[in-house]
Amino acid sequence: MAVKRIPLQKIIQNDILESIDSKAIKPGDKLPTEFELMRQYNVSRITVASALNELAKNKFIVRYPRRGSFVSNDIESLRETAKGRVPAADRAPAADRVPAADRDWPARDEEIKYVIGFIIPTIMDFFALNIIQGILACLAGDPSFSLIISSSQNQVGEELIIKDMLKRNIDGILLFPADQEIYNERILEMKLRKFPLVLIDRCLPGIDTHYVISDNVLGGRLAVSHLRALGHRRIAMCCGAPLETFSVKDRIRGYKDGLAQGPGPADGLLIKDILIRMQDSSERGQIEEQLLNPDNTAFITTDSMVALLLRHFFEEHGLNVPRDKSIVSYDAPLPIQFNQNPFTFIDQSEYKLGYEAAAIMRSLLPNTQPPQEYVKKVIAPKLVDGRTSALCAKV
């Protein structure tokens, strides 16, 4: 098995420098906010801040407190001296460069019969790492399989990696698609070619293929049911990812189902795009008012990053979690140690997602004939009761 990774902060730096080189952004232009970059690259704030600080240290950008980061007005004299990049005058002509697809690809050993690619937006969170552990466990002990793991970051990267893998005659792809309202056309291309493909945590409308997903509707219902049992009657859902994504749509549907189910009345509040809106001075006040409203005693977050943001926000404002505000997160925001996690969360059994996806792929290889029917597995999540939810103190 071979895995080659570029540090995420270096990817962010290079992307910004390439935008400067191509003049997509010009001297004096404002860069995306830290939270916008966090969402774009699906990384932590520390990673984004580290990337921006390095660019500022080398004077490619200028950072101003509370105003943001801007391209340096002196960029013309600095463009060719980016750390770790070769000045244009010293670069090989385009015709002489080795294509990325032909560089550093591991040779196939004689014992290896099948090479499987796994593509996922990021491998920096515990959800992704648990999926990888499940895949490895399924393939363990069988030397005929080799696994290549690649982080796509976004849909553009996903398309490039799929194209690269297909060019290199990989035998099958396990794909965790990037969050987008529309799916990658390469996925449709693989389906038409009857290429061995298994989707993980996503099933895409109009694309009939093998997949393993978590029952996100059930997850939403479990979260609401748990909070209602604790006496909460005003339960908000905070969305970090775009509402159009498959998983978020189902989580919202389960949340609404849970509110509609008795006993007793319950009110909901949907707060969308909270990570970006909290960074927008024109919208932050409204979001803060909703979060601090004493009637809103419980919050469900569609992802772990939002859960961490809420807990930090409430602590900054002198509110105790869970005495004053309860939080239920999708996925565990922090690693589980000694079978404990400080957060109450919806466990999507990501280890099982990875294991079952790899098991389907093993059944598809060798790819001698198209499957008679597609394997579609839906895994039931469970609620793990942690220390961020408690009885509602509001009478």
Question: Residue 113: which of 67, 144, 87, 147 has the closest Cα?
Answer: 144
- The model carries a pTM of 0.69
**216: helix, coil or strand?**
helix
Regarding predicted confidence, which is higher, 384 or 108? 384
Which of 59-73, 359-373, 379-393 has the largest mean confidence? 379-393
DSSP secondary structure, 23-76, as one string: TSS-TTPBPPPHHHHHHHHT--HHHHHHHHHHHHHTTSEEEETTTEEEE-TTGG
Q: In what order do the strands lie in the sheet with 172-175?
A: 145-151, 114-120, 172-175, 197-200, 210-214, 376-379
CB-based contacts of 379, cutoff 8 Å, min separation 6: 212, 213, 214, 215, 348, 349, 352, 353, 356
CB-based contacts of 225, cutoff 8 Å, min separation 6: 258, 261
- Give the max Cα distance, the chain: 73
CB distance 318 to 334 below 8 Å: no
d(CA 195, CA 189): 9
233-238: average pLDDT:
94
Question: Cβ of 160: how many Cβ atoms within 10 Å?
Answer: 15
Q: What is the pLDDT of residues 340-363, one digit of tens each?
A: 568 999 999 999 999 999 999 998
Position 312 scores a pLDDT of 92
Does residue 94 have a pLDDT over 50?
Answer: no
d(CA 135, CA 318): 43
Residues paired with 149 in a beta bridge: 118
Give the lowest-confidence range in 159-168, 230-239, 300-309. Answer: 159-168
Residues paired with 311 in a beta bridge: none
Write down the CATH number for the domain with range 111-214+350-380: 3.40.50.2300
The identity of residue 200, as a single letter, is I
**Long-range contacts, stretch 7-12, CB < 8 angstroms, 24+ apart:** 8/41, 8/43, 8/47, 8/51, 8/122, 8/124, 9/47, 9/48, 9/50, 9/51, 9/54, 10/51, 10/84, 11/41, 11/153, 12/37, 12/41, 12/43, 12/47, 12/48, 12/51, 12/52
CATH 1.10.10.10 placement within the chain:
8-95
Position 202 scores a pLDDT of 84
Question: Residue 362: which of 202, 135, 128 has the closest Cα?
Answer: 135
Structure tokens at 391: 């009885």
72-81: average pLDDT:
63
d(CA 151, CA 220): 28
CATH 3.40.50.2300 placement within the chain:
111-214+350-380, 216-348
Burial letters 196-229, b for 16+ CB under 10 A, else e: bbbbbbbbbeebebbbbbbbbbbbbbbbbebbbe
Does residue 27 have a pLDDT over 80?
Answer: yes
Eight-class DSSP state of 223: H
Topology classification of domain 8-95: Arc Repressor Mutant, subunit A (1.10.10)
Regarding predicted confidence, which is higher, 268 or 7? 268
d(CA 103, CA 118): 19
Mean of per-residue pLDDT scores for the chain: 81
Position 355 scores a pLDDT of 96
CATH superfamily to which 216-348 belongs: Response regulator (3.40.50.2300)
Position 104 scores a pLDDT of 46
d(CA 383, CA 386): 9
CB distance 394 to 297 below 8 Å: yes
127-139: average pLDDT:
91
Give the lowest-confidence range in 28-42, 161-175, 246-260. Answer: 28-42
The fraction of the chain above a pLDDT of 90, given in percent, is: 37
Q: What is the pLDDT of residues 96-123, one digit of tens each?
A: 333 333 434 555 556 678 899 999 988 7
Q: What separation in angstroms does the CA of 32 have from each of 57, 74, 202?
A: 18, 20, 28
37-47: average pLDDT:
76
DSSP secondary structure, 96-114, as one string: GSPPGGGSSPPPPPTT--E
Q: What is the pLDDT of residues 287-321, one digit of tens each?
A: 999 999 999 999 999 988 899 999 999 999 999 99
Does residue 279 have a pLDDT over 70?
Answer: yes
Question: Cβ of 20: how many Cβ atoms within 10 Å?
Answer: 23
Question: Residue 239: which of 191, 290, 322, 303 has the closest Cα?
Answer: 303
Enclosing H/E stretch for 151: strand 145-151
239-244: average pLDDT:
74
Position 92 scores a pLDDT of 35
* Residue-level length of the chain: 395
Give the lowest-confidence range in 16-20, 174-178, 221-225. Answer: 16-20
**262: helix, coil or strand?**
coil
Structure tokens at 43: 């990384």
pLDDT band at 368 (very low <50, low <70, confident <90, very high): low
Give the lowest-confidence range in 80-84, 248-252, 370-374. Answer: 80-84
